[in-house]
Chains A and B, each alone.
Chain A
Amino acid sequence: MQVLTRGVTHLVVSQVVSEGGVPVASTLTTDLVSGRTSLGEPQQRRLGQGAAVVSLDLPQAPVTCLDFWCRAGSAAETPAESGLAHFLEHMVFKGSERLGAGEFDLRVEALGGSSNAATGFDDVHYHVLVPPSAAAEAIDLLLDLVLAPRLDGQDFDMERQVVLEELAQSEDQPEEVAFQQLLSRACPGHAYGQPILGRRQALEGHRAGAMAAFHERLYRADNCCLAVAGPLGDGAIWEHLENSALASLARSDQPLSADSGPSSLQLHPGSDTVALPRLEAARLLMAWQVPAAGDLEAVIGCDLLTTLLAEGRRSRLVARLREQLRLVESIDLDLNGLEAGSLVLLEAVCESEHLPAVEAEIKRVIQELIAAPPPLAEVERAKRLVGNGYRFGLESAGSVAGLLGNNHLWGRHQPIQAPLDALAHWDPQRLWHELTPLLDPERAFCLRALPA
C-alpha cells in the first residue's frame, strides 16, 4: 500500500480465496541446507558522472526488464510540492522533446513489451519489460522519457485531472482512507504521514514550472540507478550504456551526503477511534516503527517476527484470533521496508462488537512473545517461509530488476544471497532479545475504524 502505480489496474473480481489458510508464498527457495540461489552475482558500474547501473544475467528469461530508480519519492517533496513526485511520474509518460505523447507506450507495446511506474515514499521507479533483442532500443527510449520529459502545460492540465481521479478513487475505498488516517496519526510531521498522491488543494495549484524544477533538482546522476535483468548475452549492452543519456547525466548541484534521503522517522505511539462512511466491517490498524531498510539484518529479523506472528494458519495471531477465538475475518501484519525507518502495519477485519476483544487479544499475543523466547521450531518455520518467499520472488526478471534497482539506489551493494545469509544469523534467543521489544504495543499507534 505504500506504492502507487501509474498503470491500468486490472479489475479483480472477487478472487477471494480462503486465504489465511496455508500461505501462498509471496515470493525464492533453495534447500536450506546449502541455502544457495541458482543465480549469478549482479554486476555494477558507474557511468559518466556517477549514475549507477546494476545488472544480472538471466540467460533463460524470456524477457528483459529495465528498471530505472530515482530517489524522488514523496519524501523528497517540500510541503508546497505535495503530490508532485507522483504527478511527475504520470507526466513522464507524456513524452519528451523526441518522443510524442503516448509514443513510448506504443513503441514498447508494439514490440510485445509492457511498462509501468510506481511512486513510493522514498523513491520512484519506471520499468519496462521487452523481448531481449529489443533491450538496447528500450534503454534509449526509457532514458529519454525519464531524463528529458517535455512537461507541456496543456498535457499537465489534462494529467492533473487523471491524478485527481486517482485520488477520488482511493477516497472511495474506505480501507485506504483508514490506512491513510493511521499513518497521518502515527507519523505526524513526517513525509510518511502524508499521502503520496498529495493534498487535493496542492494538486489543484501545481504548475508545470514547479514540476520541472523538482525534476531538475532530483533526477541527477548521484540520485539514480538503472537495473537490467534478463539474457544479457555478449555484454554489448554495457558499451551501449556508456554512450547513453545516463552517462551524460549531471550530478546534483549540492552533492548528497552518503546517507541522504528522507529525514529520520520518529513514530508517535498512541491510539484513536474514527468512524468512516461506507465501511462495512470494523478495522483495527496498528503501526510500529522498526529499523530502516538499510539495516538488512534487522529487517530480515523483523520479517521473521511478522511471519511468526501472522503468516499462515499456524502463525500466532491467525491461529488465536481467526482459527481459535474466531474474532476476525482476517489478520495481516506487513513489514514495509523504508529508508527513514521501516513500518510494521497490522490490519484486523472484524465485526464492530468484537473490536475491543480483538485489540485486547492482539496485545496479549504480542506480550506473550515479548515475555519468552519463541520455540526453535516456530523460528525455523518462519525461516523457511521467509527464505522461500525471497527465492520464489527471484523467478522473474521483473522482480529481480526491482530488487537490485532498489538496493543499489540506496547504496546496498549486496550479493543476491545476502538476505538468505542474514536469515541464518538469527536464532530464537537473539530475535527475542533484540527485536521483540520493538513490537511492544506501547510503541505502536493503534487506530480503531468503525462503520459510521
Chain B
Amino acid sequence: MSVLTSSAGPTASAGSLGGPRSRSVVPGGCPLWVVPRPGPEIVSAKLWIRGGSSSDPRGQRGSHQLLAGLLSRGCGDHSGEALADQVEGLGAGLRCEASEDGLLISLKCAAADASQLLPLLLTLVQKPWLLHDQIDLERQLNLQALQRHREDPFQLAHDSLRQQLYGDGPYGHDPLGVEAELAAIARDGLSQQATQLGRQGAVLVLAGQPPANLEELLTREIGPGGWPTQAPLANPSWAPTHQPGSPCQRLAYNEEDTEQLVLMLGAATVPLGHRQGLALRLLHCHLGVGMSSRLFVTMREEHGLAYDVGVHHPARLGAAPFVFHLSSSAERAFQATNELLNEWQRLLEQPLTGDELALARAKFRGQEAMGRQTGSQVADRLALVLGHGLPADFTDRCLGELDRLEPADLLAAARELLASPSLSLCGPALALAEAEKAWQQHPLSA
C-alpha cells in the first residue's frame, strides 16, 4: 500500500476537464495525484492538509495560520534562512497558508529544479522546528495584519457577518485569529498541533512536468516510512451548527466615517459536496458571475448604485457562507439596502426563467474551463475537491448533473437555505440609520 506507482493508469478519461491524471500513494498513506501537462516546463504542487482555522483549539484562535507560517521557518536539516536561500535561489515560490478547512502548501518551480525542491514538502509538515524566536516574529506579523485589516470597510463588515452567521463556531473567526488569543498561543500548543498534521487526511497534487522518481524524492528527507496520513474522508459529521439569530442579531453595524456604506447580506448554507450544493453554485453564477449577472445588471447597470457588487460563496467542508456584497454612496443608503434586499427576496419567490438558467449553466461550464489555464489552477482545483473527500471526477459529475437541475430545484434550495439572511453594515451613522430603516420595513427582517 505504500508503494508509489507513478505509472498507474489514467483514472479519468482524457476528455474530462482535468485531462489525464494518475493516482498513487506516498508511503504512509498520502494520495498523490499527477496531472501531466505539455508546454511550459513547470511543476506546480499543492499539498492540502485537512484541518484549518475551523479546527483552532478553544482559546487559541489563529493557531493554524500561525503554524502554517512557521512551517517554512525551519524544518528537518534546514534553518529558515537556508530554506529560503534554496527556494528563492532557484527562483521558486513556496507558500504555506491556512484556510478555514485546511492548510495548503503550494510550490511552483522550473521542472528542472523540482528534484531539489520536492523533498522539502513533507519535511515541512513532519519536522518543523517551531523556534520560539520565529514564533514571536510570525505572531507579531499576524497581529499587525489583523490591525491593518481594520482599514478596509469590507473587512469590517465581513468580520461582523461572520459573527452573525457562525457566532463562536468553527467559521466564526478570521483564519488569522483573534488578537487576544493569538497573543497568548504557546509553543506547546503549536507543537501538539504540528504532530496532528495529516491525521484528518491530506492529498498531494502535482501538475506540469514532474520528475519520474517521485517516491524517492518525497521520502528522501523523512525516511522510507513516509508520513502517516490517509485520503481525506467525505465531510465526516456535517450538520448545521448555528441557528440564525433573532432579527436584531441579524442586523449588525460598524460605524465608520466613510464615503460609502458597505452592505453584506448572507446566510450560512451547506458544504461543497451537499446535495443542494450545485443548486447554490448555479444561483451564484446567475447572481454574481460576470457582467451579465443579475446583481451586476440590476444594482449597477440599471440603478447605478454601485461599482462593486457581487456574490461570495466559497467552497467549504461545513456550512459555506452565501453572501451578497455591495458598497454604495452614503446618501443612497436606503435605496441600496432596499434594492439589495429585494434581490434576495426575489430568490425566494421567483424561479429562474429558462434563459436565465441556461446562462447560469454556460457560466458554470465556462468558469470550470477558464479556471484550468495554468498548472497551479489545475492542481488547486483537484486538491480542493479531493481535500473535501469528494471523488476526483466530482467536477465532471457536476457538469453532468447541470442539465438535470430545473428552476424549481434552485428555488427549493433557496427557500430551504436562504430564507433568513443576516445583514452587516459598515459606514457613517446617517447611512446606517437609513439602512436600518430599510431593513426594518422589509419582509426579510421579519
Contact = CB atoms under 8 A, between A and B. Distances in A.
A392 B108 contact: yes
Contact of B307 (A131, A165, A322, A323): A165
A28 B365 CA distance: 28
Nearest to B108: A25
Contacts of B88: 22-23, 311-315, 381, 384-385
Nearest to A281: B148
A180 interface: no
Interface in B322-364: 323, 325, 327-329, 358-359, 362-363
B75 interface: no
| Size class of the A contact interface (CB-based, 8 Å) | 35 or more
Interface stretch (B4-12, B33-41, B192-200, B267-275): B33-41
Given A8-B290, A8-B310, A171-B259, A395 B40 contact: yes
B108 A280 contact: no
Given A16-B149, A21-B96, A326 B140 contact: yes
A280 B85 CA distance: 33
A22 B290 contact: no
Nearest to B88: A312
Interface in A379-396: 380-381, 383-389, 391-392, 394-396
B397 to A, nearest CB: 19
B49 interface: no
A109 B308 contact: no
B94 A21 contact: yes
Contacts of A105: 290-292
A102 B291 contact: yes
A323 B137 contact: yes
Q: Which of A161, A169, A396 has the most CB of B within 10 A?
A: A169
B72 A22 contact: yes
A278 B258 contact: yes
B363 A112 contact: yes
B150 A280 contact: yes
A113 B154 CA distance: 28
A216 B325 CA distance: 37
Nearest to B69: A18
B152 interface: yes
B92 A396 contact: no
A106 interface: yes
Interface stretch (A29-37, A48-56, A77-85, A236-244): A29-37
A61 B291 CA distance: 24
| Size class of the B contact interface (CB-based, 8 Å) | 35 or more
Interface in A83-114: 93, 101-102, 105-106, 109-114
B369 A62 contact: yes
A153 interface: no
A364 to B, nearest CB: 21
Interface on chain A toward B: helix, strand, loop, or mixed SS? loop
Q: Which of B137, B142, B291, B304 has the most CB of A within 10 A?
A: B291
Nearest to A160: B304
Contact of A112 (B152, B325, B362): B362
A440 interface: no
A199 to B, nearest CB: 15
Q: Which of A15, A109, A349 has the most CB of B within 10 A?
A: A109
A18 B97 contact: yes
Interface in A209-235: none
A336 interface: no
A106 B108 CA distance: 36
B15 interface: no
Nearest to A175: B151
A317 interface: no
A137 to B, nearest CB: 15
A395 B39 contact: yes
A63 B362 CA distance: 15
B366 A388 contact: no
A89 to B, nearest CB: 13
B148 A158 contact: no
A440 to B, nearest CB: 26
B181 interface: no
A162 interface: yes
B148 A280 contact: yes
A314 B73 CA distance: 12
B263 interface: no
A418 B266 CA distance: 49
Nearest to B368: A112
Nearest to A104: B291
Given A106-B292, A164-B329, A349-B144, A313 B109 contact: no
Nearest to A110: B362
A169 B330 CA distance: 11
A250 to B, nearest CB: 29
A162 B365 contact: no
Contacts of A313: 80-81, 84, 88
Interface string B169-208: 0000011100000000000000000000000000000000
A113 B366 contact: yes
A381 to B, nearest CB: 5
B306 interface: yes
B94 A384 contact: no
Nearest to A31: B112
Contacts of A312: 84, 87-88
Interface in A394-413: 394-398
B145 interface: yes
Interface string B101-127: 000001011111000000000000000
A312 B39 CA distance: 27
Given A165-B327, A169-B307, A329 B95 contact: no
Interface in B132-175: 137-138, 140-142, 144-145, 147-155, 158, 174-175
A8 B309 contact: yes
Nearest to B327: A169
A159 interface: yes
B296 interface: yes
Contacts of B369: 62-63, 112, 131
A1 interface: no
A354 B37 CA distance: 48
Q: Which of B89, B259, B370 has the most CB of A within 10 A?
A: B370
Contacts of B141: 18, 20, 322, 329-330
Interface in B186-245: none
A25 B260 contact: no
Nearest to B264: A11
B306 A14 contact: no
Contacts of A168: 259-260, 327, 329
B372 interface: yes
Contact of A281 (B73, B147, B362): B147
Given A8-B309, A38-B41, A109-B291, A23 B304 contact: no
Interface in B52-89: 65, 68-69, 72-73, 80-81, 83-85, 87-89
Given A13-B312, A164-B329, 9 more contacts: A14-B176, A21-B73, A24-B95, A109-B289, A131-B369, A312-B87, A383-B91, A384-B91, A398-B373
19 contacts: A8-B310, A11-B154, A13-B155, A14-B149, A21-B96, A25-B108, A29-B91, A61-B373, A62-B370, A63-B370, A102-B292, A109-B359, A109-B363, A110-B358, A163-B307, A166-B307, A173-B151, A384-B89, A398-B373
